[in-house]
Chain A
Amino acid sequence: MDEVRIYKQFDPAPLTPGDNELYVDLDNVRGETHIVKKFARRIRLSRNSNTVQILAGHRGSGKSTELRRLQENLQSENPRYFVVYVEADEDIEGNDVDFPEVLIAIVRQMADQLRKRAKIELKPGYFKDRAYRLKGLLGSEVDFEKVDLGTGLLKISAAIKNSPDARLEVRRLLEPDTSNWLEAANEVIGQAVTELRRQGFEGLVIIVDDLDKMILKPHAAGCTTAEYLFIHREAQLRAFNSHMVYTMPIALAYSTQEQNIENLYGGRVPVVPMVKIMTRPPDQTRYEDGFEKFRDLVRRRLSRAGVKAEQVFDSKDTLDQLIELSAGQPRELVILIREAIVSSDLPICKEAVERAEREGRWAFERQLNGDHWPVIDEVRLKGEFSRTNDNDAAIRDLLDSRALLQYVNADEWYDVNPMVPKKRP
Chain B
Amino acid sequence: MADSPKSKMPGLQMRELRSVERWLSLSAGSFSLATAICNSPLLRRHLVKKLCSKFLKIQEIELKEECSDPFEETKALFDQQAEAIFIIGLEHSIHNVRTVASLNASRELWQELEKPVLFWLPEFGAEIVINQARDIWAWNSHVFQFDTKTISSELRFDGVAGITGMGGDDVYFRIAELEQHLRSIANSKAFQLKNEYLLRLEELMLLYARLLELAKVEELGSEALHMSQSLRLRDHECRILLLLAGNKRSMGLIEDAERLARNALAIAETQALNTPQAMALLAAILSDLGKFDEALNVVSNAASGKGVTQEQQMPVPLRVAMADLHSKSGHFAEALDEARGLLEVADKTNDVGLRLAMLNLLGNLNIRKGDLTQGAKYYESLMEQHAELGLVKREIAYLNKLVELYTELDDETKLIRTRERLDRASGLL
Scan residues 70-98 of chain B and give those whose CB is less than 8 A from a CB of chain A.
97-98
Say if the beta carbon of B62 comes within 8 Å of chain A: no
Which stretch (B133-141, B256-264, B293-301, B344-352) binds chain A? B133-141
Let me know if A7 is at the binding interface, CB within 8 A.
yes
Query: Do B26 and A7 touch across chains, with their CB atoms under 8 A apart?
Result: yes
Determine how close the nearest CB of chain A comes to the CB of B151; give it in whole angstroms: 9
Known contacts A89-B105, A93-B105, A367-B130; decide if A162 and B138 are in contact (CB<8 Å). Answer: no
Question: Who on chain B is nearest to A331 by CB?
Answer: B138
Q: List 21 A-B contacts (CB under 8 A).
A: A3-B26, A7-B26, A7-B27, A92-B105, A93-B98, A95-B100, A95-B105, A164-B98, A210-B105, A213-B135, A215-B104, A339-B141, A343-B15, A343-B19, A359-B143, A362-B143, A362-B148, A365-B150, A366-B130, A366-B131, A400-B134
Q: How far is the CA of A164 from the CA of B142 in the complex (A)?
A: 32
Shortest CB distance A90–B (Å) = 8
Check if A341 sits within 8 Å of B26, measured CB to CB. yes
Q: Identify the closest chain B residue to A335 (Cβ).
A: B141
Chain B contacts for A335, CB-based, 8 A: 140-141
Smallest CB separation, B79 vs chain A (Å): 22
Given that A338-B142, A367-B130 are contacting pairs, would A94 and B105 also be in contact in the complex, using a CB cutoff of 8 Å?
Answer: yes
Asked if B111 lies at the interface with its beta carbon under 8 angstroms from chain A, I say yes
Residues of A within 8 A of B369 (CB): none
With A and B bound together, what is the CA distance between A400 and B132 in angstroms? 10
Flag if A342 contacts B130 (CB, 8 Å).
no
Could you tell me if A4 and B26 are in contact, using CB atoms closer than 8 angstroms? yes
Measured in the bound complex, the distance between the Cα atoms of B156 and A35 in whole Å is: 53
On A, residues with C-beta under 8 Å from B are: 3-4, 7-8, 11-13, 59-60, 87, 89-90, 92-96, 162, 164, 210, 213, 215, 331, 335, 338-339, 341-344, 359, 362-363, 365-367, 400-402
Contact A213:B26 (CB < 8 A) given known A338-B141, A363-B137, A400-B134: no
Interface of A is mostly: helix
Question: Within 8 Å CB of A95, what residues of B?
Answer: 97-98, 100-102, 104-105
**Shortest beta-carbon distance, B75 to chain A, in Å?**
13
How would you classify the secondary structure of chain B's contact residues: helix, strand, loop or mixed? helix
Q: Considering the chains assembled together, what is the distance between the CA atoms of A94 and B107 in angstroms?
A: 12
A212 vs B25: C-alpha distance in the bound complex, in angstroms?
34
CB distance from B371 to the nearest CB of A (A): 48
Establish whether residues B28 and A4, one from each chain, have CB atoms under 8 Å apart when the complex forms: yes
| Shortest CB distance A271–B (Å) | 17
Given contacts A3-B26, A342-B26, A343-B19, contact A94 B104 (CB under 8 A): yes
Q: Is the CB of A59 within 8 A of B150?
A: no
- The CA-CA distance from A89 to B111 in the complex, in Å, is 14
Residues of B within 8 Å of A366, CB to CB, are 126-127, 130-131
List, in ascending order, chain B residues with CB within 8 A of A359's CB.
143, 145
- Does B277 make an interface contact (CB < 8 A)? no
On chain B, which size bracket covers the interface?
35 or more
A401 and B129 CA atoms in complex are apart in Å by: 12
Write the nearest CB–CB distance from B142 to chain A, whole angstroms.
Answer: 5
B158 in the interface (beta carbon within 8 A) = no
Taking the nearest CB of chain A, how far is it from the CB of B20, in angstroms? 8
Task: Please name all residues of chain A whose beta carbon is closer than 8 Å to the beta carbon of B102 when the two chains form the complex.
Answer: 93-95
Option from A11, A89, A400, A401 in Cβ contact (under 8 Å) with B108: A89
Apart from A95-B98, A215-B101, A339-B141: 4 A-B pairs, beta carbons within 8 A: A7-B26, A95-B101, A366-B126, A401-B134
CA distance A52 to B26 in the complex (A): 43
**Is B406 in contact with chain A by the CB < 8 A criterion?**
no
CB <8 Å contact, A87 and B101: no
Q: List B residues 95-131 near A (Cβ within 8 Å).
A: 97-98, 100-102, 104-109, 111, 126-127, 130-131
- Residue B30, interface by CB 8 Å: yes
Nearest-Cβ distance from residue A167 to partner chain B, whole angstroms: 11
Q: Which residues of chain A are near B104, meaning CB under 8 Å?
A: 94-95, 213, 215
Q: How far is the CB of A91 from chain B (nearest CB, A)?
A: 10
User: B421 on the interface (CB 8 Å rule)?
Assistant: no
Residues in A neighbouring B30, C-beta threshold 8 A: 8, 11
B69 interface residue (CB < 8 Å to A): yes
Q: What residues of A have a CB within 8 angstroms of the CB of B22 in the complex?
A: 342-344
B23, CB-defined interface residue at 8 Å: yes
Residues of B within 8 A of A87 (CB): 108
CA distance A37 to B380 in the complex (A): 74
List, in ascending order, chain B residues with CB within 8 A of A341's CB.
26
Checking A4, A60, A343 against B138 with a beta-carbon cut-off of 8 angstroms, the contacting residue is A60
CA distance A342 to B28 in the complex (A): 13
Which residues of chain A are near B130, meaning CB under 8 Å?
363, 366-367
Measured between beta carbons, the chain B residues less than 8 angstroms from A13 are 111
